[in-house]
Chain A
Amino acid sequence: MFQLILRRLITAIPTFLGVSVVAFLLIRLVPGDPVELMIGERGASPEVMAEMRSNLGLDRPLAVQYISFLKSAITFDLGTSIISKKPVIDEFLARFPATVELSIVGLFFAILLGVPLGILAAVKRNSFLDYFFMGGALVGYSMPIFWWGLILILVFSVHLGVTPVAGRVSVFFDIPPVTGFMLIDSLLSEDRWEAFHSSVMHLLLPALALGTIPLAAIARMTRSSLLEVLKEDYIRTAKAKGLTAYRIIIVHALRNALIPIVTVIGVMVGTLLTGAILTETIFSWPGIGRWLVTSVTSRDYPVIQGGVWLISAIIILVNLIVDMIYMWINPHMRELS
C-alpha cells in the first residue's frame, strides 16, 4: 500500500516538471521579442525594456533561465502583472476562492443529482425512464456550456426575473472579505441572511451551468458501474437471502459501484476548472478563469504563465489526491501490495 502510494508520488514528478516546461516555454515561444509584445503600443524607453528583459531573465542562457524559473515557480514567486503591477500570486489568491466556491457547489449539484439519476436508470434498465435519463445525459455531455449558461440567463434572469445576471453578490451589500468564500463571508457580514440569500441567488445559475457536464458524466458512470456490479454473484446471493431491493442496491451494490464513480469525480476536477474559464466569462464571475482569459486578450504574459502553472499544478495535485483515495477505498489495490 505504502509502496503503491510512493510509486504514484514519484510518477507525478515528471508531470510536474513537464508542465513547468510548458509554462516556461510559453513566453519564450512567442514569435518576436516577448518584451516588445508585452509593452505593445504603450511604448517604453530602451532602458526600461532592457530592465524588463533582465527582470524576466531573458538575457541568460535557456537552461539557466529554466532553473531559475523552476526555483521561483516552486516558491510561487511568479513576477508581477504588467497591467495591474501587482504580484501574480496575490492576484491569483484573490480570485481563487471564487473559482473554488463555484466549482464545489457545481460538483455538489452534479453528485447529488447524478448519482440518484444513474441509480434510477440502472434499476429501471431499458425502461422509458432509463432512455430518457441517458438521452438527457448524452445531451448534457455534448452541451456547449457557454451556450447553456446564456440559455439559463435567458430563461431565469430575463424571462422569469428570479436570478441576477452577473457577479457574486448584490452591490448593495458591503461584505468584508474574510474567507474569500462569498457564502460564508455574507453570513459574517452585517446584513447576514439578506446578503446570504443574494449570494446564493448569484451562485445558482453559474453552478448549474458548470455542473451540467459533470452531472451527465457522473450519471452515465453510476448507471454503467451499477449495472456491472448487479451482475455479480454476491448480488444473487443477497437476492436469495430475501433482502429488499432497496437494501441490495444501496448497501451491497452501490458501495462497490462507487469506485469508478470516485474516479470520474476526480477526472471532473480538470473539467470543472476548464468549465470555470467559460462559465466565469458568461456570468462575469471574478475567478481565475476570467482572469486568465482577460490576461490572454491583454497579452499579460507573466499572468498567463503564472496562471497556467498554478492551475495545472493544482490539477495534478488534486488528481494525485484522488488516486490515493482510490487506492485507499479499493480493496483490490490493497491486496496488490
Chain B
Amino acid sequence: MKPEDLLGGRWLQVKRSLSKNKGAMVSLIILFVFVFLAIFAPLVAPYLPSTVNDAGVIVPPAFTTGGSGQFLLGTDDLGRDLFSRLVYGSRVSLGVGFMVVFLSVLFGVLLGLTAGYWGGWVDSTIMRCVDILMSLPSILLAIVVVSILGPSLFNAVIAVSVVSLPGFIRIVRAAVLAEKSKTYVSASHGFGASHTRVALLNILPNCLAPIIVQATLGFSDGILNVAALGFLGLGAQPPTPEWGVMLSDARAYIESSWWLVTLPGLCILIVVLCFNILGDGLRDALDPKLKSQ
C-alpha cells in the first residue's frame, strides 16, 4: 500500500502544506544530502575511515593555513582523513537513527495498539510499565540497559530504543482510543471482521499521522542519545567512525586542533535540528489543530 492510499486525499493537502513550510523543505534537502553521503560513502569519501595516512598527523583543514589539499577537512591524531570519517559517520548515525525508529515504531505500535484496543488489565499493565520507564530520564535508563548488556553500538541502539519506546506506546494508544469509538469501527465489527483485522486494517491506518510525526522526532532523539552514549564511552567503540566517539577522542586535542572538536558535533547538531524542524512541520501539516502559534 502506498501512503496515498492510507491517507487518501489528505496526503495531497499535507504535501501542499509542507511544501509551503520553508524550514521543513530546507531541512528535507539537507537530510537528503546526508542520506546521499551515507549511501554513497565509499564513492564520496577519498579514504577509508580507518586509513592511517603517514603523510600527515593532525593536519588542519585545507582552507586554513597549514592545510593540505590532500585532506579537505584535515586529519586526526592518527592521520585519518576527517572528511572521510564524517561521511562514513553519517552512515553510522543515520543507520542508528533508522534502527531506533524502526524498533520503537514496531514495538510501540504493537503494545500501544494492544493497550488501546483491548483496554482493561492489559491496558493498565502496559501503561504502568510505561509510567515507570518514563519516570527515569533517558540517559539514565540507557545507562541501565548498557550496564546490563555491555557497551557496544548495537547495545546502545537497543538501549535508546527502549528509552524511546514509552513515547510511542503513549501516542499510539491515545490515537487508538480516539478512533475506537467511531462508527466505522462498529460497522466493521457488524460485518463480522475479526479483532485483529479491525485493529490493524481499520484503526491503525487512521492513527498514522501522530506516528509519522513521532517517528520523525524519534530520529533526532535516537541519533542524539546514541551519540551521547558513544561520547561517554558506553556506545560505539573506537575506531568506529561514530560522531559521538569522534568527539570523545577529540577532547584530548581541544587546545591544538579545533576542527576535530567542532565538525563532528556540527554534523550531529545539523542532522538533529533538521529532523526536529521537519517533525514540527509534519505535525503542523498533518494536524492543523495542533499548529503551534
In the assembled complex, the Cα of A127 lies from the Cα of B138 at a distance in Å of 35
Given A139-B273, A142-B220, A150-B261: A304 in contact with B137 (beta carbons within 8 A): no
The yes or no answer to A146 lying at the interface (CB within 8 A) is yes
A292 adjacent to chain B (CB < 8 Å):
yes
Which of A48-56, A104-112, A271-279 lies at the interface with chain B? A271-279
Q: Is the CB of A293 within 8 A of B251?
A: no
Is there a chain B Cβ closer than 8 Å to A184's Cβ? no
Determine whether the beta carbon of A296 is less than 8 Å from that of B265.
no
Q: Which residues of A contact B146 (CB under 8 A)?
A: 296
B residues less than 8 Å from A324 (CB atoms): none
Whether A154 contacts B244 in the complex (CB less than 8 A), given A147-B265, A296-B143, comes out as no
A5-24 interface code vs B (CB 8 A; 1 in, 0 out): 00000000011001101100
Residues from chain A with Cβ under 8 Å of B258 in the complex: 154
> Is A293 touching B128 in the complex (CB atoms < 8 A)?
no
Enumerate chain B residues within 8 angstroms of A227, measured Cβ to Cβ: 293
Distance, CA A297 to CA B95, complexed state (A): 25
A147 to chain B, nearest CB (A): 3
A143 interface residue per 8 A CB criterion: yes
B-side contacts of A18, CB under 8 Å: 128-129, 131-132, 135
CB distance A153 to B254 under 8 Å? yes
A residues 99-142 near B (Cβ < 8 Å) are 125, 138-139, 141-142
Say yes or no: A297-B292 contact (C-beta < 8 A), given A138-B273, A304-B147, A315-B136: no
CB distance from A19 to the nearest CB of B (A): 6
Of the listed stretches B35-43, B59-67, B231-239, name the one at the interface; the rest are far from the partner chain: B231-239
From 165 to 203 in chain A, residues with beta carbon under 8 angstroms from any chain B beta carbon are none
Chain A residues contacting B70 (CB-CB under 8 Å) are none
Chain A interfacial residues counted at CB < 8 A? 49
Judging by beta carbons under 8 Å apart, are A311 and B261 in contact? no
- What are the residues of chain A within 8 A of B136 when measuring CB–CB? 19, 22, 308, 312, 315
| Shortest distance between the CB of B162 and any CB in chain A (Å) | 11
Complex Cα gap A227–B291 (Å) = 13
Chain A residues with CB under 8 Å of B139's CB are 274, 277-278
Closest to A293 in B: B232
Considering only residues 226-275 of chain B, those with a C-beta below 8 Å from chain A are: 227-228, 231-234, 244, 247, 250-251, 254-255, 258, 261-262, 264-266, 268-269, 272-273
Q: Which of A148, A151, A224 is packed against the most chain B CB atoms within 10 Å?
A: A151
Nearest first, the 8 A-B pairs at minimum CB distance are A147-B265, A18-B132, A274-B137, A270-B137, A142-B273, A274-B139, A142-B272, A146-B231
What are 11 A-B contacts defined by CB distance under 8 Å? A18-B128, A18-B135, A142-B269, A142-B276, A144-B269, A150-B247, A150-B250, A154-B258, A277-B232, A308-B140, A315-B135
